[in-house]
Amino acid sequence: MAQSKTTRIGILTAGGDCPGLNAAIRAVAKAARGEYGIEILGIYDGFAGLIENRWRVLDWDDLSGLLTLGGTMLRTSRAKPHMYPAPGGGVVDMTGVACENYRAMGLDCLVCLGGGGTQKNAMKLVEAGCNVLTLPKTIDNDVARTDVCFGFDTAVAIGTEAIDRLHSTADSHRRIMVLELMGNKAGWLALAAGVAGGADAILIPEIPFDLEVVAESIRERDRRGKRFSIVAVAEGAEPRGGFVDDDQYVDAGEGHHVATRVGRRLEKLTGLEARVTVLGYVQRGGSPTATDRLLATRLGSAAAQLLAEGEYNVMVASRGEGWKAVPLEKVAGKRRTVPLDHELIAAARLIGTSFGDD
């Protein structure tokens, strides 16, 4: 067994789940335990389990069959130690309790698998005296200082398949199909799935849109004999100047999904029929793609190496074909959105995709 400066770790998954979390747990735990003899405590329900002492030692048997499984075997929550729901209502700072439990569990380091919120919560534990090591996961792909997050590739594949399937029904009915994708305040998912699926317009938070511009691109397609148009819209996308709560955007009585607003307005502007699909949590479910399995395995095993070296308070970031340990303070509280000069935006524009901005 190789030498290790770490003897006992806790591992938790926090924030929204995504495909690849179990593959990453497996990689961290198998490498940490098998190669370095590190004992692994699985903490349940994200930071809530740390505060409420829900954990158990993970044995070899627990680590089998995880690679292909969606969700997270450790379950998750959006609990924040520094803003924890108080019994009588309101919130209370439980950072101190989380750190006391960390010490009582005899941990050398807490491994947190999560997105932007988790990186921030983890940093607060570091400031309170715990050792932490994080991995970047999220279908939103918006964690700072990493090329990519695991979970993203799978969500892109699901979004792409949805667009593929919308094509034939759109064509049959001569319709506009508006597909809403997740992504929070970043457009990575809508952009990647939109380009891969060949959407005719892609609307993302980074580029405020004008629906008159989108409508004109759809009319132009119609004039050229194209019987349908597909619009991929990120849940966080907004029109120039923001949404106006008048009948321009809210006249459908179908809730406030951006896709609904976009669909109804495009119907009015083009005279064509529009239909709306909100893909929702389907994007977060099921088995990870091979790419996500590879990423989760690479980053998870790298985390074990860092633990053995006693290198804490970093995020294991993906860099090209490899990985890099990035100080957590450079990641926490930051969001990576799509740069306006991103080559995928440029490529899409060149092939005639509308972003609703010109």
| Binding residues for ligand F6P (CB under 6 A) | 16, 78, 115, 138-140, 182-184, 235, 284
Q: What are phi and psi of 134, to 5 degrees?
A: -120, 160
Q: Which two tokens stand for residue 209?
A: 């849109």
Q: How far is the CB of 140 from ligand F6P (least distance, A)?
A: 5
Q: Which is nearer to ligand F6P, 337 or 354 (CB)?
A: 337
Q: Which is nearer to ligand F6P, 183 or 263 (CB)?
A: 183
238-241 CB contacts, 8 Å cutoff, 24+ apart: 238/205, 238/208, 238/209, 239/208, 239/209, 239/210, 239/211, 240/208, 240/209, 240/210, 241/208
Q: Which is nearer to ligand F6P, 119 or 184 (CB)?
A: 184
Q: Active-site residues: which are they?
A: 140
Q: How far is the CB of 300 from ligand F6P (least distance, A)?
A: 20
Q: Which is nearer to ligand F6P, 197 or 218 (CB)?
A: 197
Residue type at position 168:
S
Q: Which is nearer to ligand F6P, 105 or 196 (CB)?
A: 196
For ligand F6P, which residue has the nearest CB? 182
Half-sphere exposure at residue 109, Cβ-oriented, CA atoms within 13 angstroms: 26
Q: How far is the CB of 204 from ligand F6P (least distance, A)?
A: 13
What are the DSSP calls for 100-162, one per residue?
HHHHHTT-SEEEEEESHHHHHHHHHHHHTT--EEEEEB-TT--BTT-S--BTHHHHHHHHHHH
Q: How far is the CB of 91 from ligand F6P (least distance, A)?
A: 17
Whether the Cβ atoms of residue 27 and residue 301 lie closer than 8 Å to each other: yes
Q: What is the DSSP letter of 287?
A: P
Q: What's the residue count for the chain?
A: 358
Q: Which is nearer to ligand F6P, 20 or 308 (CB)?
A: 20
H-helix or E-strand spanning residue 178: strand 175-181
H-helix or E-strand spanning residue 95: helix 95-104
- The residue behind tokens 């919120």 is 117
Burial of 115 by CB count in 10 Å (0-12 exposed, 13-18 middle, 19+ buried)? Answer: buried
Q: How far is the CB of 166 from ligand F6P (least distance, A)?
A: 20
Helix, coil or strand: residue 69: coil
Residue type at position 227:
R
Q: How far is the CB of 139 from ligand F6P (least distance, A)?
A: 5
Helix, coil or strand: residue 22: helix
Residue type at position 257:
H
Helix, coil or strand: residue 19: coil
Q: Which is nearer to ligand F6P, 108 or 142 (CB)?
A: 142
Whole-angstrom Cα distance, residue 85 to residue 92? 6
Q: How far is the CB of 46 from ligand F6P (least distance, A)?
A: 12
Closest alpha carbon to 353 in 225, 218, 259: 218
